[in-house]
Amino acid sequence: MIDELMSNPDPKARIGKHFLFDIQTIPDYRGKIGVLESNKTVPFEIKRTYYLYDVPSEAERGAHAHKRLEQVIIALSGSFKIIIDDGKNTYSYNLRSPSVGLYMGPHLWRDIKDFSSNSVALVLASMHYSEDDYIRSYDDFRTVF
Ligand code: TYD
């Protein structure tokens, strides 16, 4: 899927796309290294990284979509659930391994919940932070379809 995205120059091909992928891992007797590289194993140039931590188990995050932002989300520690709505269907992903990434293209409504204690969610993002890129009303999100 990543190769497919990288070989397609049309940004519209990324709208509503989401999939899990295995992160390149270098193991030896000392432990493991997980590696992610812009425009190679991550299908965009990484402009920003941020992480969610100290999230109470009852907290619900997300509840928005993005107009242009692409992201990869990784459960570096612990686990959480992401529910994705592409305007037609909903999909639920349980992220619980630091060796798996979830790619999310633009125009996906996401809810993130069920954070385990000490969970850390790392997010790689294709754009600097911009509130203008957010769609925070579900009704507005739905009007696109
Ligand atoms: P938001 O993206 O809504 O959080 P989540 O999807 O994790 O629930 O962001 C929450 C607040 O943090 C919001 O006021 C915007 C701000 N924020 C930044 O200033 N910079 C950032 O890079 C991010 C991700 C959020």
Q: Note the pLDDT tens digit of each residue in 81-133.
A: 999 999 999 999 999 999 999 999 999 999 999 999 999 999 999 999 999 99
Average pLDDT, the chain: 97
Q: How far apart are CA 19 and CA 71, in angstroms?
A: 11
Examine the pLDDT at 145 and tell me if it is beyond 80.
no
Ligand 1: atom nearest CA of 110 is 6
Q: How far apart are CA 117 and CA 20, in angstroms?
A: 23
The pLDDT assigned to 38 comes to 98
Establish whether residue 91 lines the binding site of ligand 1, counting it when its CB lies within 6 angstroms of any ligand atom: no
The pLDDT assigned to 109 comes to 98
Q: Do the strands 71-77 and 48-52 form a parallel or antiparallel pair, or are they unpaired?
A: unpaired
Ligand 1: atom nearest CA of 48 is 22
Q: How far is CA 102 from CA 4, 17, 47, 121, 142, in A?
A: 16, 10, 17, 11, 23
Examine the pLDDT at 31 and tell me if it is beyond 80.
yes
Task: Name the residue of 50, 83, 127 to mutate for ligand 1: max ligand atoms within 8 A of Cβ.
Answer: 50
Distance 132 CA to ligand 1 centre (A): 12
The pLDDT assigned to 131 comes to 98
Examine the pLDDT at 71 and tell me if it is beyond 90.
yes
Is 64 one of the annotated active-site residues of the chain?
A: yes
Share of the chain above pLDDT 70, in %: 100
Q: How far is CA 63 from CA 2, 80, 102, 104, 112, in A?
A: 26, 15, 17, 14, 8
Establish whether residue 61 lines the binding site of ligand 1, counting it when its CB lies within 6 angstroms of any ligand atom: yes
String of DSSP letters for 89-112: -EEEEEE--TTEEEEE-SS-EEEE
Distance 134 CA to ligand 1 centre (A): 10
Establish whether residue 121 lines the binding site of ligand 1, counting it when its CB lies within 6 angstroms of any ligand atom: no
